[in-house]
Structure 1
Amino acid sequence: MKFKMQDKQNQLIERISDRHLVVGVDIAQQFHVARAVNYRGIVVGDPLTFENNEEGFNRFLEWINKLKAKNSLDTTIVGMEPTGHYWINLSKWLSNEKIDVVTVNPHLVKRNKENRDNTQSKSDKKDTLVIADMVKNGYYAFVRSTPESFEKLRVLMSNRDVIVKRLVSSINQLNRWVDVVFPELRQVFKDVKGKGAIATLRLFPTPIELRSMQPQDIVGKWKSVMKRQPGLKKAYLLIDLAKRSIGTHQALDAYKLHLEQLLEEYDLATTQLERVEQEVTNVLQQIPFAKKLLAIKGISEISLAGILGEAGDLSGFAHGNSLLRHAGLHLSEASSGKWKGQIVISKRGRSRLRRFLYLATMSLVMNNPEFKELHANNVKVKKIKKMKSIMKLCGKLARLFVGIAKRNESYSPEKLQPFSAQAA
Structure 2
Amino acid sequence: MKITEKTLEVNANHILNIGVDVSSRKLDVHFECPLQLNKREVYREQILNRSVEIEKALKNYLSLAQSKGFLNLRIVCEPTGPYSLNLLSMATHLNCLTAYVSGEAVKNSKIIEFNGTNKNDLVDAELINSLAERNKVLIHRTYSANYTRLRMLNSHYEDVDKAYVSARNQVHNTLKQLWPDYSSKLSLLYASTGQALYRCYGFNPWKIVSYNYSYFERRMRTHCKGVWSSTLKQIYRDAEESVRNHCSDAASTLESILSDHYENCLRGLERKASLKTEMKTILSEIREQDDRIPQARVNFISEFHIARLLAETGPLSDFKNLKQLTKYLGLNLRERQSGEYQGRVRLSKRGRSLARKVLSLVVLPLTTQKALYGPDYHRIKTQKDKPGKLVMCIFMKRFLKSFFGIYRSHQSFDSRRLFIDRGSYEKLNSQEVLEAIS
How much has 1:89 moved relative to structure 2? 3.3
How much has 1:320 moved relative to structure 2? 1.5
CA contact (8 A) 1:213 1:239 kept: no
**Counterpart-to-counterpart distance in 2, 1:275 and 1:406:** 31
Query: What residue in structure 1 maps to residue 373 of structure 2?
Result: 371
User: What is the aligned-residue identity percentage?
Assistant: 20
Q: Pick which of 368-377 and 87-96 moved more.
A: 368-377
State which of 213, 219, 222 in structure 1 corresponds to 2:217: 219
Could you say what the CA RMSD is over the residues aligned between the two structures, in angstroms? 3.1
How much has 1:18 moved relative to structure 2? 7.5
Query: What residue in structure 2 maps to residue 360 of structure 1?
Result: 362
Query: What residue in structure 1 maps to residue 305 of structure 2?
Result: 303
**Counterpart-to-counterpart distance in 2, 1:367 and 1:296:** 16
Q: Structure 2: 5+ residue runs without aligned partners? A: 429-438
Query: What residue in structure 2 maps to residue 399 of structure 1?
Result: 401
TM-score, length-scaled by structure 1: 0.87
**Counterpart-to-counterpart distance in 1, 2:9 and 2:178:** 70
Q: Structure 1: 5+ residue runs without aligned partners? A: 1-5
CA change 1:273–1:342 in 2 (3 A) is same
**Counterpart-to-counterpart distance in 1, 2:10 and 2:225:** 66
CA contact (8 A) 1:284 1:290 kept: no
Report the secondary structure of 2:46's partner residue: strand
CA change 1:44–1:20 in 2 (3 A) is farther
Is residue 2:90 matched to residue 1:93? Answer: yes
CA contact (8 A) 1:188 1:237 kept: no
Given residue 388 of structure 1, which amino acid in structure 2 is its aligned partner? Answer: L
Query: What residue in structure 1 maps to residue 434 of structure 2?
Result: none
Is residue 2:134 matched to residue 1:132? Answer: no
CA contact (8 A) 2:292 2:408 kept: no
CA contact (8 A) 1:211 1:239 kept: yes
Given residue 276 of structure 2, which amino acid in structure 1 is its aligned partner? Answer: E
Q: Pick which of 119-128 and 58-67 moved more.
A: 58-67
Query: What residue in structure 2 maps to residue 3 of structure 1?
Result: none
CA-to-partner distance for each residue in 1:8-28, whole Å, 9 max, x for gaps?
xx88x6263472211111111
Given residue 220 of structure 1, which amino acid in structure 2 is its aligned partner? Answer: R
CA contact (8 A) 2:17 2:132 kept: yes
**Counterpart-to-counterpart distance in 2, 1:176 and 1:260:** 13
TM-score, length-scaled by structure 2: 0.84
**Counterpart-to-counterpart distance in 2, 1:304 and 1:272:** 19
How much has 1:380 moved relative to structure 2? 7.1
How much has 1:83 moved relative to structure 2? 0.9
Query: What residue in structure 1 maps to residue 346 of structure 2?
Result: 344
Report the secondary structure of 2:294's partner residue: helix
**Counterpart-to-counterpart distance in 2, 1:18 and 1:116:** 26
Given residue 79 of structure 1, which amino acid in structure 2 is its aligned partner? Answer: V
CA contact (8 A) 2:131 2:137 kept: yes
**Counterpart-to-counterpart distance in 2, 1:292 and 1:184:** 49
CA-to-partner distance for each residue in 1:261-285, whole Å, 9 max, x for gaps?
2222122111111111111121122
Query: What residue in structure 2 maps to residue 285 of structure 1?
Result: 284
CA change 1:414–1:112 in 2 (3 A) is same
Given residue 21 of structure 1, which amino acid in structure 2 is its aligned partner? Answer: L
**Counterpart-to-counterpart distance in 2, 1:116 and 1:420:** 49
State which of 208, 214, 227 in structure 1 corresponds to 2:206: 208
CA contact (8 A) 2:293 2:407 kept: no
**Counterpart-to-counterpart distance in 2, 1:134 and 1:324:** 24
How much has 1:59 moved relative to structure 2? 2.2
**Counterpart-to-counterpart distance in 1, 2:334 and 2:256:** 53
CA contact (8 A) 1:44 1:67 kept: no
Q: Pick which of 355-364 and 314-323 moved more.
A: 355-364
The structure showing larger relative contact order (alpha-carbon pairs under 8 Å, at least 6 residues apart) is 1
CA change 1:406–1:53 in 2 (3 A) is farther
How much has 1:124 moved relative to structure 2? 0.9
